[in-house]
Amino acid sequence: MTSDVFEPLAGLEGVGSAARAARDAVDVLLRDRGLRKVSADMTAEALLRGAHASAALAGSPSTLDEVRRGDGDALAAGAVRMTSELMGLAPQLNTAPVKVWTRLHQLAAADLGSEDQLGHLRTSREPIPDDIPGLLPAPSADEMWERLSGLAQALTRPTKAPGLVVAAIVHAELAVLRPFPTANGLVARAAEHAVLIAKGIDPLSVTVPEVGQLELAGSYAQGLRDYASGGLVGVQAWLLRSCEVIALSAERSPLNTSSQ
pLDDT per residue of the chain (260 residues) written in tens, 0 to 9: 458 999 999 999 999 999 999 999 999 998 755 566 788 999 999 999 999 999 999 999 999 999 999 999 999 999 999 999 999 999 999 999 999 999 999 999 998 876 767 767 887 655 566 678 888 888 888 999 999 999 999 999 999 999 999 999 999 999 999 999 899 999 999 999 999 999 999 999 999 999 999 999 999 999 999 999 999 999 999 999 999 999 999 999 998 875 44
- Least Cα distance to 78 among 106, 38, 42 occurs for 106
Identify whether the C-beta of residue 236 lies closer than 8 Å to the C-beta of residue 12.
yes
CATH superfamily of 7-258: Fido-like domain (1.10.3290.10)
- Least Cα distance to 212 among 164, 252, 167, 162 occurs for 252
User: What SS3 class is residue 228?
Assistant: helix
Quote the pLDDT of residue 117: 72
- Phi first, then psi: what are they for 132, rounded to 5°? -125, 90
CA distances for 76 relative to 40, 59, 89, 175, angstroms: 21, 9, 19, 18
Note if the bond before 8 is cis, omega within 30 degrees. no
